[in-house]
Structure formats: structure tokens, C-alpha cells
Amino acid sequence: MKTQKLITLIAVAFITVVSFGQTIVGSAHDFKAASWNASGEICKTCHTPHNAVTGISAPLWNHQVTTQTFTLYTTAVSPTFNGTTAQPDGSSKLCLSCHDGVTKVDNFNGVTTGTTSITGAANIGTDLSNDHPVSFLYDAALATADGGLFNPAVALSGKGSTITADLLLANKMQCSSCHDVHNGSGVNNLLVKTNAASALCLTCHNK
């Protein structure tokens, strides 16, 4: 009987983590009250149901896409980095369409004459060499080469399945590997899971 209780407790603990329901509303990405978002719509700053930006694989994209060339975090920066980075692609390029500090945040919904730039810690800039690398292949081979990473195809993410399944996009680490732009987990800094006890870092890093 006691054992049943224990199993229930463990199960509840899992469900609580996995289904931590939160929304973008009220989060750092809720711009309904922003001075540069006259319509007050939340989704519109990034998405549109019609006439989305073409030429980029993105979900009904409604924001100007960055044209910057970024300085990358490479083996030249860190000799112990075993991955291979290229110019940001996938979802990371979408994030940097505001967070590069150059592309105006109010250049959305067809507007190209915006004047508002992102500020503060959220301004990643075009120099990504002091930021965690993104847009690189993270697979079993990289884990083996590095020696301090879990095998993403096997190691669990804490979000229900493996790192590859839950956190990577096409086997690549992207901004979205750590950040949920829609605040699905309700964790500070829009993290995909809590970083208490560095749990997010230690999801991939086997230190």
C-alpha cells in the first residue's frame, strides 16, 4: 500500500513537471502594451495568418528577418569546442531577427521603417562568440568527441523524451533548445525547463 503511494507520488511529480502549463500572455514576449506595437496584438509581432514572409522556413513569419553576418563561437574561440557552427539558421535566425540588436523590433507586418531596437541583456548583438553556440549538429558523435556531453539520442531531456526529440531541431542545437519563446514552462528567461541546480545545463553537459 505504501509502495502504491510512492509510485503515485513519483508519477505526480513527473506530470507536474511535464505539464507545467503557462502561456505567452504576461510573459516577456507579450508585447501587447509595447509602445511600438500599436495594434496591441500579441502574436502579430512574429506571426500572421496570411501573406507570411517567404523564402524562410518559419511558422507564418511576420517579422523582418535579420540580414546580419554574425561572429560565431568556434573552435578558434574555444579550442575545447568540438562542434561546428555556421551562420545561425532555423529558429535561431528568427530569434536573432530581434535579438541581434540591429534589426528593428517594430519591423513587422510589412513595416521596414521601424526605429526601435532591443536593449539590455536581451540584446545578444551580432557577436555570438561570447554566447553559447547555436546552429550546430549535436549528435552521438559530438558527444563522444567532446567527452563531457550526454548522447542526445539516448539521454532524457526531462521533458518526456530524449534530448534529440525534445530539445533539438533537425539534430541541431538552436536557441529553442534552451528557450521556449512562448513561455510554455513558465520559467524565468523563457527557459524550456527550470535551471535550478543548473538542471538545464546538466541536461546536456555531463560534468
Chain residues that interact with other proteins, rule: CB under 8 A: 3, 6-7, 10, 73, 77-81, 121, 124, 129-132, 148, 150, 155-156, 178, 195-198, 201-202, 205-207
Name residue, grid cell 506530470.
15
CB-based contact 193:187 (threshold 8 Å): yes
Start-to-end CA span in the chain (Å) = 38
- 3 or 35, CB closer to other proteins? 3
Which residues does 94 contact at the CB level (< 8 Å), separation at least 6? 46, 56, 58, 61, 63, 65
Q: How far is the CB of 126 from other proteins (least distance, A)?
A: 13
- 62 or 164, CB closer to other proteins? 164
Q: How far is the CB of 4 from other proteins (least distance, A)?
A: 10
Which residues does 3 contact at the CB level (< 8 Å), separation at least 6? none
Does the CA dihedral 45-60-20-98 come out positive or negative?
negative
Q: How far is the CB of 32 from other proteins (least distance, A)?
A: 26
The beta-strand segments (E) located in the chain are 136-137, 172-173
Cell of 168: 533539438
- 57 or 198, CB closer to other proteins? 198
- 2 or 50, CB closer to other proteins? 2
- 105 or 124, CB closer to other proteins? 124
Q: How far is the CB of 206 from other proteins (least distance, A)?
A: 7
Q: How far is the CB of 129 from other proteins (least distance, A)?
A: 5
